[in-house]
């Protein structure tokens, strides 16, 4: 399957002990890396010491990929191209550019956030309908 960059939504489900998310992480942990932007998004939602400890433990399982200048430039171009038409946010564009730089797929529950990665997005489970 190759390298996987996991988006915050799947990691949030993992922290909330959603079975499908936990199973996905368990089955693919050796392929997963995180953008440091995803780490920032996760920390932005932490409530309390227990959640912080769980987040530290979860993030510690995976390689974290810094935002290089090349990733930043590519993300800026993605935002320029897909922001107006697809409402692609800068954080999603940075995650997409990180995945692209590694030849990885993005794992997310929101494939519509990644129109710039045709064929390189994986939705690992569905929570509704």
Residue % of the chain over a pLDDT of 70: 98
In a domain? residue 129: no
Residue 105's alpha-carbon distances to 2, 16, 23, 44, in angstroms, are 8, 23, 18, 24
Q: Domain range for residue 94?
A: 4-122
Which phi-psi region, left, alpha or beta, contains residue 90 (left: φ > 0; alpha: ψ -120 to 50)? alpha
The answer on pLDDT for 9 being more than 80 is yes
In a domain? residue 81: yes
Q: What is the pLDDT of residues 60-84, one digit of tens each?
A: 999 999 999 999 999 999 999 999 8
- Report helix angle 8-15 to 36-44, nearest 10: 50
Task: Give the count of domains, the chain.
Answer: 1
In a domain? residue 86: yes
At 120, is the secondary structure helix, strand, or coil?
A: coil
The CATH number for 55's domain is 3.40.50.1010
> The pTM is what?
0.94
């Amino acid at each position: 399957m190759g390298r996987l960059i996991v988006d915050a939504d799947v990691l949030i489900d993992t922290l909330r002990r959603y079975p499908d998310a936990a199973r996905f992480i368990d089955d693919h942990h050796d392929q997963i890396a995180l953008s440091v932007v995803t780490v920032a998004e996760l920390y932005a939602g932490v409530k309390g010491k227990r959640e912080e400890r769980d987040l530290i433990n979860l993030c510690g399982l995976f390689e974290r990929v810094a935002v290089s200048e090349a990733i930043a430039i590519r993300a800026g171009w993605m935002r320029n191209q897909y922001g107006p038409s697809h409402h692609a946010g800068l954080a999603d564009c940075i995650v997409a550019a990180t995945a692209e730089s590694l030849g990885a797929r993005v794992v997310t529950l929101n494939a519509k956030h990644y129109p710039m990665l045709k064929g390189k997005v994986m939705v690992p489970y569905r929570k509704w309908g």
